[in-house]
A and B are shown apart, each in its own frame.
Chain A
Amino acid sequence: MTNLIDINPSLIEYAHRYLQRFMSINIDELKMLLSYCEIRQVEKRTILVKEGEVDNYLNMVVKGLVMKYVRVKKNDMILQLATEGHVIHSEISFLTRTPSLVFVETLEPTVMLSLTYDKMEEALDKFPQGERLGRLILTGMYVKKEESRYFRLLRSARERFLDYINAHPHMLQRVPQKYLASYLNIKPETFSRMKHLVAKQ
């Protein structure tokens, strides 16, 4: 376990902060949970999961940037952009052990803390309060999805743009504009025009 921590000191901090949102976890418990995980390090533009493959991993980004997208009639629609501290994978595929409908791909060289499905099952069973932690993490995922759907339906393109860029200003530098536009469900031309809204602030 000490090896994992030596590799990247932020790892333990991200993992701890993430888990603390759901229940109080002490350092020994954290080490136990980390022992189920593995570190994966990949180049940029690595496809972690292709459409049609079963996703065997749940990943937390420790360093780097990962995107999830769906290919609809040769057009890629970005569903998620995950940076440090965020969890990303093909959820339906991972949870149901069925072929993925989406792609998961790195945009930057990326270090991830990853958990396989089998190790997750083991942790749910063996970790004290594992079932509770699992339920609370799933609840968190559900609530987050539900909120993003609500705001997508409620807000105009302009509002979606401003909310996102204000909350994640660094993403304009890290992610190609066409991907951000797709993620926000805004036409690329409209996205370009909206950029002046940021400059003014």
Chain B
Amino acid sequence: MINDLLTFLNKFVKVSIEEFAELIAWTEPRQFEKKTILTRPGDVEEYMYFITSGLIRKYFLKKDQEIITHLVKEGGIIGSGESFLTGQPSRYFVETLEPTTAFAISRQKLEEMYGSSKKWEKLGRIMTTQYFLVQEMRLMDNIRYSTRERFVKFMNENTDLLQRVPQKYLASYLNIKPETFSRLKHLMNPK
């Protein structure tokens, strides 16, 4: 659980056990029931979460329709990033879909951490780059691949989500009509 975070960080920058302990001290463990709304439109996002177990979705409302932009499970980072980074009110809801545990870091602590050493400033730069890249790659995937290709790619990489997430949410996340989503299910690798 705590090792997941270390493994995650080591993908980007070498972190020793001592440094990792120091980093953990800036975070707080948080725990939520399922269907807990962590952030609403108009709130300023105070936290970014590294999920150790559970599942969180981020969405906004287009008239009455929920548009899901993120589904993040254990091992991923989520929060209303734009609001967290700018201090401006969130346009999004952030909500747990399952009971969820996470290491959370507040805006204030993160600023303090960055200010405390160049090493953390560098980690911050690399993580921000990573966050940007993930978003940019997804945008490129949406442009370059057909509905069918996006469905197959995502569902093969996240087979567990079909059991964990209501289909209409998966369809919204993939920007596919619910009817089309149902029809595409036969494309999944039989397990």
Contacts and interface: CB of A to CB of B under 8 A. Distances in A.
Interface in B119-158: 121-122, 124-125, 128-129, 131-133, 135-137, 139-140, 143-144
A77 B143 CA distance: 9
Given A72-B143, A143-B82, A143-B86, A92 B136 contact: yes
A163 interface: no
Contact of B128 (A70, A142, A150): A142
Nearest to A72: B144
Given A72-B143, A101-B144, A154-B60, A146 B114 contact: no
A96 B133 contact: yes
Where chain B touches its partner, the secondary structure class is helix
A132 interface: yes
A101 B82 contact: no
B91 A135 contact: no
A41 to B, nearest CB: 28
B128 A135 contact: yes
B121 A142 contact: no
Interface residues of A, number: 27
Where chain A touches its partner, the secondary structure class is helix
Interface string A1-21: 000000000000000000000
Nearest to A132: B121
B140 to A, nearest CB: 6
A139 B85 contact: yes
24 contacts: A72-B143, A77-B143, A91-B133, A95-B129, A95-B132, A95-B133, A96-B133, A101-B140, A124-B125, A131-B121, A131-B124, A134-B125, A135-B125, A138-B132, A139-B128, A142-B82, A143-B85, A145-B132, A145-B135, A146-B81, A146-B82, A146-B135, A149-B135, A153-B69
Given A70-B140, A95-B129, 15 more contacts: A72-B143, A91-B136, A92-B140, A101-B144, A131-B118, A132-B114, A132-B125, A138-B132, A139-B128, A142-B131, A143-B82, A146-B135, A147-B82, A153-B62, A154-B60
Interface of A: 70, 72, 77, 79, 91-92, 95-96, 101-102, 124, 131-132, 134-135, 138-139, 141-143, 145-147, 149-150, 153-154
Interface of B: 60, 62, 67, 69, 81-82, 85-86, 91, 114, 118, 121-122, 124-125, 128-129, 131-133, 135-137, 139-140, 143-144
